[in-house]
Structure 1
């Protein structure tokens, strides 16, 4: 269980962290929050969807990483990431920007339960603070990166809300052929209704275009064909488990290969 704690020179002067070499911490993440800024990197590999945890929560743009909750097909048994691009939400681990209660101010926190966190510096650890009690150069860069990502996801949530306001977002009840009946698929996912999008007035389309929401809508729709590749990746994991092989040793081009036919398939 993650335990994010605000970092301070008083508490963490001699603490540090190890850079990511193992993504096992995300093995249970079937959905990853992403932003519009990542779209060009996400589209070649991921199915995109909108997700709402509860009726009170805003719609989030997410990358679908598994066919059911608790499954991340992009991570091997050795903790390696498959498929190239790693969503930005994981690249700042074990840090996170968290709003203070009853405040809009964000604070840099670290997961003290993570294996990457070190309460005392080790040989390969990166320091959190310098000798003067200021954030180290690398920790400062991580903070800037996480702040940028937080802002990008907030902007993306606003665009998703605009699409929802215009009535083009609908529940997405995924039905995956070949998935055992005993496995419950995702719930709480949404996607763009292309028919509703085409029925919008010219003025509404112009607003969506100027705000950047139209590009988000089409990116989500164009990503949906990647779901079949996620099924292929599911089968690849099953095959590797049966043959006691490591997924990364198998031919991933059979899953992610972009031949001419697949590029023309929308």
Structure 2
């Protein structure tokens, strides 16, 4: 999967591109099943997501919970507390959110030093009804390699340099994967691509 960066409000975040253009997802089959080999963490916890204040769980907008007491339906709470399964899901999502927040600080640091450059999916053909992604950025490898020792020491205070390099290298390698989108950027190719229901999208930055 291709991973790029964008700024949403005041927050920098990593985003996974699931199709050649906004609203198109090549990882979802016609029956709504996920077909990708890698499953984003946010889907592993479906139908739950973090509440806006990140202190508890909330249902995804499209989900209607089943009635408690029906055979096979597990309770959400036990003795006034989240069930063991849901408590584990909450802890998992909170760890994910903390990691995204820290990555946002790293990306902000890189942006302040002009190490993020505007980026687009290469050679994608726009149609009258579908426009290209905008506001995407990628790390400038040359400028990153030109950082001096003081810069790396400052960055290490936010995140271990080894972790930063692992993330950056994975990001840069993933950009080449976007070329597969060229096969789906014509009107004919898009005929088999499933449109995303906006109400089913997780909160920004979670994919």
Q: What TM-score bracket applies, with the shorter chain setting the length?
A: 0.7 to 0.9
Runs ≥4 in structure 1, deviation > 6 angstroms?
none
Q: Is 1:117 the equivalent of 2:117?
A: no
Query: How does the TM-score come out when normalised to structure 2?
Result: 0.77
Q: How many angstroms does 1:183 deviate by?
A: 2.1
**2:87 alignment partner, one of 140, 154, 174:** 140
Distance 1:129 1:191, change over 3 A: same
| Cα deviation digits, residues 154-211 of structure 1 (max 9, x gap) | 1211221222223211221334344536421111211111222233224324544644
Count of equivalent residues = 189
Q: Distance in 1 between matches of 2:184 and 2:6?
A: 22
Distance 1:57 1:125, change over 3 A: farther
| Cα deviation digits, residues 41-66 of structure 1 (max 9, x gap) | xxxxx11100223xx32110111111
Q: How many angstroms does 1:126 deviate by?
A: 2.5
Partner of 1:191: 138
Compute the RMSD of aligned alpha carbons. Answer: 2.8
Unaligned runs of 5+ in 1: 1-45, 101-105, 247-266
Q: Is 1:129 the equivalent of 2:77?
A: yes
Q: Residue 24 of structure 2 aligns to a residue in which SS? A: coil
Q: Is 1:154 the equivalent of 2:101?
A: yes
Q: Residue 55 of structure 2 aligns to a residue in which SS? A: strand
Partner of 1:167: 114
Partner of 1:217: 168
Query: How does the TM-score come out when normalised to structure 1?
Result: 0.61
Unaligned runs of 5+ in 2: 195-207
> Within 5 A, what are the aligned runs for 1:1-266?
46-53=1-8, 56-100=9-53, 106-111=54-59, 113-115=61-63, 117-130=65-78, 132-180=79-127, 182-205=129-152, 207-208=154-155, 210-211=160-161, 212-232=163-183, 238=189, 241=192
Q: Residue 67 of structure 1 aligns to a residue in which SS? A: coil
Q: Distance in 2 between matches of 1:112 and 1:193?
A: 36
